[in-house]
Structure formats: structure tokens, C-alpha cells
Chain A
Amino acid sequence: DAKTTQPPSMDCAEGRAANLPCNHSTISGNEYVYWYRQIHSQGPQYIIHGLKNNETNEMASLIITEDRKSSTLILPHATLRDTAVYYCIVIRYNQGGKLIFGQGTELSVKP
């Protein structure tokens, strides 16, 4: 599976957009980009995923570059409740069900 690189930490002001980058320069054509987050001590929460098109749901937007070597998760109006560790995971669809979590980005939303 492609490795991912994320900044270890980021800050964001409440009400502003939070843009979380992820590099996956070795991604293959059949690999998806998934995003999860873990709010302190809770179970991880699925956010969004995509293959090559940009995706949006009620939680976030996912922007994948044309060459697919990087992506950005956007939380349009961050709140204090969005403070969490965000994980970008690249998955080959036939690898089986396991998720392989890296170190993620610790996002702190500040008032």
C-alpha cells in the first residue's frame, strides 16, 4: 500500500476552514484515499473517501490532485468539536478489510 505523509499537528481558528494535507506520492491507480478521525480517546470515525474525483459530504470535502499524489481534507467551518487526530489512509480495494493507521495530524481548533 502507498505510504502517506501528514503534518504532525495543525491549528485552526474556530469558524474558519481547516485544510489538512496528505501526501501519497506512490499511490497506485486502484488505490483509494480514506479519511478517518479520532476525537480524544473515542473510537475512530469515518469521514470521507475518494478515488480521483473530488468528493463532498455533510462532514467534509476531499480534494485529490489530478496526479493523485496528494489530497486535502477540508472542514469548511471548523468547530471546537472538530479537535481530533485526522488520519489519511490509502487502501487497495482487494487487500482485505484492515485499516492501517499512520500517525495522523493532530488538529487543534482554537476559539
Chain B
Amino acid sequence: NAGVMQNPRHLVRRRGQEARLRCSPMKGHSHVYWYRQLPEEGLKFMVYLQKENIIDESGMPKERFSAEFPKEGPSILRIQQVVRGDSAAYFCASSPAGVNYEQYFGPGTRLTVT
């Protein structure tokens, strides 16, 4: 059973460009969570999604950031007009149906904004 997959693993964007981060949950998992880890800082929750629904986006910056988890395909975290402060590791996690704190994390996407 493949684990949570994230791609790309490394992404370099210039200021003002868009970044799209993809997350494929584990087979059978319908809940996806995104977390961000800024350099030398802890992990911060961003958003929690089920298929086609955003359940909790309390950790998402109000502007430029959006997330989706369509009926088919991976979950996407989209950052528009990136700035240097968006440089971080972005981790996706998944869990089976139901509120579940046993979350399985992917390897992360390292975003560097130049």
C-alpha cells in the first residue's frame, strides 16, 4: 500500500509566480490535511479537507492561498503571487473516514521562492 505521495518534492518559484502543490492520499483515505513548516519553526496546520469539501481552513492565510480536494484526483494547495516568506516545507497528511488524529504524512514539498 503506497503511502501519501506529494509532488513535486522541490519547487522553485520566482516572486509573483504561482505554486501548485499536489498530494495523493493513501488508498482508501478520504481526509486530507495540509501543514506548513517555515525554516527553523514548528509545524503549523493550514487546512483540512474531505472530498469536495473544506472542513477547516482556520490556518490558511486569508489571501493568495487556496486548497481543493476534488472528487477525482489529488488534493491541490495553490499559492498565488508567491513571496519570499512562503518559502517553507509543505506537508500533506491523510486519514481514513471520520475525524482521525492518526494521520499519515507525505515526504513534503520544499518550496523556495527566489
Q: Tell me if chain B binds chain A.
A: yes
Number of A-B pairs, beta carbon distance below 8 Å: 62
Interface presence of A25 (CB below 8 A):
no
Within 8 A of B (CB), among A72-111: 89, 91, 93-94, 96-104
- A44 surroundings in chain B (CB, below 8 A): 43, 91, 93, 105
Interface presence of B31 (CB below 8 A):
yes
Interface presence of B89 (CB below 8 A):
yes
Interface presence of B55 (CB below 8 A):
yes
- For chain B, the bracket of interface size reads 20 to 34
The answer to whether B100 touches A97, judged by C-beta atoms less than 8 angstroms apart, is yes
Chain B, residues 39-67, CB within 8 Å of chain A (1/0): the string is 00011110010000001101100000000
Grouping DSSP codes into helix (H, G, I), strand (E, B) and loop, the A interface class, with mixed when no group exceeds half, is loop
Interface presence of A41 (CB below 8 A):
yes
The answer to whether B107 touches A96, judged by C-beta atoms less than 8 angstroms apart, is no
**Which positions in B face A, CB cutoff 8 Å?**
4, 31, 33, 35, 42-45, 48, 55-56, 58-59, 89, 91, 93, 95, 99-108
**Which positions in A face B, CB cutoff 8 Å?**
32, 34, 38, 41-46, 49, 89, 91, 93-94, 96-104
